[in-house]
Amino acid sequence: MNRRDFIYTGIGGVTAFTTGLKLFSKINDKEVTQLLEDENKSNVREYKINAEISEIDIGDKFKAWTYNSKAPGPEIRVKEGEIIRVVLKNNLPDSTTIHWHGIPVPNAMDGVPGITQEPIKPGETFVYEFKAQPAGSYLYHSHVGYQLDQGLYGPLIVEPERELLSYDREYTIVLADWAVFDGGGPEASRAGHTRSSMDMMGRGMGMMHRGGRGMIGRFSSDDTPLLEPNYDAYTINGKVNKYSTPFMLKEGDRVRLRIMNPSSATIYTLRLAGHSMTITHADGRPVKPFSMDALRIGMGERYDVLIRADNPGRWSLYTLKDGTPAGGYRLATFLYKGIQGDSYSDDSFSGRFIVNRYWDMEGIPDDKIPGVKGEIDRRFNLTLSGGMMGSPYWTINGRIWPETDDLNINEGERVRIEYFNHSMMPHPMHLHGHFFEVVNNNQRKSPPLKDTIIIEPHMGTGVIDFVADNPGDWFHHCHNLYHLMGGMANVLRYR
Ligand code: C2O
Ligand code: CU
């Protein structure tokens, strides 16, 4: 049986139509018992989510793929320890799933088609159910095809039983990149509205990519991965700045922002003009408060920051001018109560700013997530490459998913992954089902815990350590959707 057959037949267990606990009889007795106990405490929070095509209005109207007719989908907000139950009805013309990005759920709830469940077919319903822990800022999104770039994502917040941070108000900020086309990014790519094809034509290069399996842009055949679309707009909570309601500030307030980036192919360097930001959480995990001028946030990453409202005015949340397609873009407006007129207090979008770096962050030890203490049992070196000459293929150790090598480990092992980026694009690598420590080679005091790490281009490196404490088959991939679909993925496996 070859690999492709295996991943579609080897799943077993999970049926596409299932409700409540029936599904869990396919997991294991311990989990069923645990869930029954939790159900008795009647702390189940049920959400009904319909995946459907709807017209959205980001400031311009087009048809997107949505949860409950919105992009981003509804905010799921529960207390730590509650049971999240999501009844997902698929009204899309295609199969779908939901992945709970960042939460270490039981493997069968992880929402990866062909790896942890059968895709949910059009017309079918599927029930996801898992315990909301630990507290933090997370995302949920489709893990099928290009659906993430069509609008299928939303914020998921697990509040702690007891909040240790003190703040006066809080805003959720969901960043998204849009190609204003019916069907979103992939449809734009299919129509030839791509970054690379434009770059390539600009450089006068040929239209045939190296694999020779098809042509780029609008000529691509169905099995050739799509190139990144050329995005037309960047939104926060589904609106471009001009059509959005300002985030209100009151002088003297401490404001918490939960900034989340489910964009398909955009890394932002965000600055709130006139203010600095203090990072309190990275990917939901608490870090020693660290303040900076601008926040670099990759696809799949989340940062919680505090701002002190001490500079009245009308301020932009914008991206630094850095030569990238989204650079120098005004994303949202922060407006102090009592400020009149519509002129902004900020002007230039460039300057010298301190930007967060992983090695500046220090994790806060957490007894629920013990650190990686002691010798590493298992190491993997992963070379990230691809995208040469406008190719849509992206590789791990020279291979394209599903031909990439599995990361086979045993339960309880301390695992290290070392990344080397031989390509010219950054890769935000995301591991399902685990938090990992971001290892700084020079110093290792209390490493921050994350689930997504940007590996910078041009020979950039990164090292992560984690404990294998959540058995299953866990997807591990670049969170640039076009790199994922172009092959930059593999699976961590243990029983
Ligand atoms: Cu946010 Cu595998 O994904
Ligand atoms: Cu990538």
Q: Compute, in angstroms, the gap from residue 430 CA to the centroid of ligand 1.
A: 6
**101 ligand 1 Cβ < 6 A:** yes
- Are residues 228 and 350 located together in one domain of the fold? yes
pLDDT of the residue at 285: 96
The verdict on residue 313 lying in a domain is yes
Which atom of ligand 1 is nearest the CA belonging to 112?
Answer: 2
For ligand 1, is residue 138 a contact (CB within 6 Å)?
no
Q: What are the DSSP calls for 423-486, one per residue?
A: SSS-EEEEETT--EEE--TT--SSPPEESEEEE-TTTEEEEEEEE--S-EEEEEEESSHHHHHT
Query: Are 152 and 113 a contacting pair, CB within 8 Å?
Result: no
**Which ligand sits nearest to residue 113's alpha carbon?**
1
Rounded Cα distance between 287 and 365, Å, is 9
Q: Are residues 16 and 155 in the same domain?
A: yes
What is the predicted pLDDT for the residue at 204?
34
**How many Å apart are CA 117 and CA 126, to the nearest integer?**
10
* Token representation of residue 164: 């240790």
User: Exposed, middle or buried by CB within 10 Å (0-12, 13-18, 19+), for 109?
Assistant: buried
Residue 430, ligand 1, Cβ within 6 A = yes
On whether both 184 and 124 belong to a single domain, the answer is no
- Residues 101/62, Cβ–Cβ less than 8 Å: no
- CB-based contacts of 316: which residues, under 8 Å, 6+ apart? 241, 272, 273, 330, 331, 332, 333, 334, 344, 346, 349
**Which two structure tokens, joined as six digits, stand for 391?**
């190719």
| Ligand that comes closest to the CA of residue 452 | 1
487 belongs to a structural domain: yes
* 427 in any annotated domain: yes
Report which bound ligand comes closest to the CA of 424.
2
Expressed in angstroms and rounded, the spacing between residue 106 Cα and the centre of ligand 1 is 15
The reply to whether 53 and 139 lie within a common domain is: yes
3-state SS assignment for residue 3: helix
HSE, side-chain direction, 13 A CA sphere, residue 57: 4
Q: Is the CB of residue 300 below 6 angstroms from any atom belonging to ligand 1?
A: yes
Residue 65 C-alpha from the chain's centroid: 17
Q: Has residue 363 been placed in a domain?
A: no
Residue 368 placed within a domain = no
Cα separation of 389 and 209, whole Å? 7
475 CB near ligand 1 (under 6 Å):
yes
Tell whether 364 is covered by a domain. Answer: no
Q: How far is the CA of 488 from the centre of ligand 2 (A)?
A: 7
How close is the Cα of 429 to the center of ligand 2, in Å? 7
* Residues 406, 439 within the same domain: yes
Could you say which of 322, 356, 390 is where a domain stops?
356
Question: What domain count does the chain have?
Answer: 3
Helix (H, G, I), strand (E, B) or coil at 57: strand
CATH of the domain at 306: 2.60.40.420
Q: Does residue 152 share a domain with residue 199?
A: no
pTM of the model: 0.89
301 phi and psi angles, rounded to 5 deg: -85, 155
DSSP 37: H
Q: What is the pLDDT of residue 32?
A: 57
Ligand 2 center to 46 CA (angstroms) = 34
The CA distance from 156 to 101, in Å, is 9
Final residue of a domain: which of 142, 164, 186? 164
Residue 57 alpha carbon to ligand 1 centre in Å? 26
CA atoms within 13 A on the CB side of 78: 21
120/114 Cα distance (integer angstroms): 11
Question: Are residues 181 and 155 located together in one domain of the fold?
Answer: no
Q: In this structure, are residues 408 and 493 in contact, taking their beta carbons and an 8 Å threshold?
A: yes
Pick from 119, 135, 164: which residue ends a domain? 164
Residues 267 and 416 placed together within one structural domain of the fold: no
Nearest CA to ligand 1 atom 3: 101
- Amino acid (1-letter code) at residue 267: I
Q: Residue 386 and residue 482: Cα distance in Å, rounded?
A: 12
Burial class (CB in 10 A: 0-12, 13-18, 19+), 27: middle
Residue 361 lies in a domain: no
- Give just the sign of the alpha carbon dihedral 171, 175, 180, 184: negative
pLDDT at residue 195 in the model = 83
- Ligand 1 proximity of 193 Cβ (cutoff 6 Å): no
Buried b (16+ CB within 10 A) or exposed e, 393-423: bbbbeeebbbebeebebeeeebbbbebbbeb
- Same domain assignment for residues 172 and 145: no
| Pair (202, 340) in one structural domain | yes
pLDDT in tens, the chain (495 residues): 333 333 332 233 333 333 333 333 345 556 656 665 655 567 999 999 999 999 999 999 999 999 999 999 999 999 999 999 999 999 999 999 999 999 999 999 999 999 999 999 999 999 999 999 999 999 999 999 999 999 999 999 999 999 989 999 999 999 999 999 999 999 999 999 998 754 544 333 333 333 333 333 333 446 799 999 999 999 999 999 999 999 999 999 999 999 999 999 999 999 999 999 999 999 999 999 999 999 999 999 999 999 999 999 999 999 998 888 999 999 999 999 999 989 999 977 878 899 999 988 999 988 788 789 889 999 999 999 999 988 999 999 999 999 999 999 999 999 999 999 999 999 999 999 999 999 986 665 789 999 999 999 999 999 999 999 999 999 999 999 999 999 999 999 999
Q: Is 275 in the pocket of ligand 1 (CB under 6 A)?
A: no
Domain identity same for 392 and 488: yes
Tell the residue nearest (CA) to atom 1 of ligand 1.
Answer: 101
Q: Which of 459, 429, 434 is nearest to 358 (CA)?
A: 429
| d(CA 173, ligand 1 centre) in Å | 19
Question: For residue 484, which atom of ligand 1 is closest to its CA?
Answer: 2
Neighbours of 439 (CB within 10 A): 19
CA 369 to chain centre: 21
Q: Is the CB of 476 under 6 A from ligand 1?
A: no
**DSSP character at residue 122:** T
Owning domain of residue 392: 378-494
Burial 348-367 (b: 16+ CB within 10 A, else e): ebeeeeeebebeebebeeee
**Tokens (6 digits) for 48:** 């009904």
In angstroms, rounded to a whole number, what is the distance separating the alpha carbons of residues 92 and 95?
A: 7
Name the residue among 81, 110, 118 with its Cα closest to residue 434: 110
The answer to whether residue 367 sits within a structural domain is: no
Q: What is the DSSP string of 138-180?
A: EEEE--STTGGGGT-EEEEEEE-SS--S--SEEEEEEEEEE--
What's the confidence (pLDDT) of residue 222?
A: 60
Residues 159 and 187 both lie in one domain: no
CA of 431 to the centre of ligand 2 (A): 13
The reply to whether ligand 1 has any atom less than 6 angstroms from the CB of 136 is no
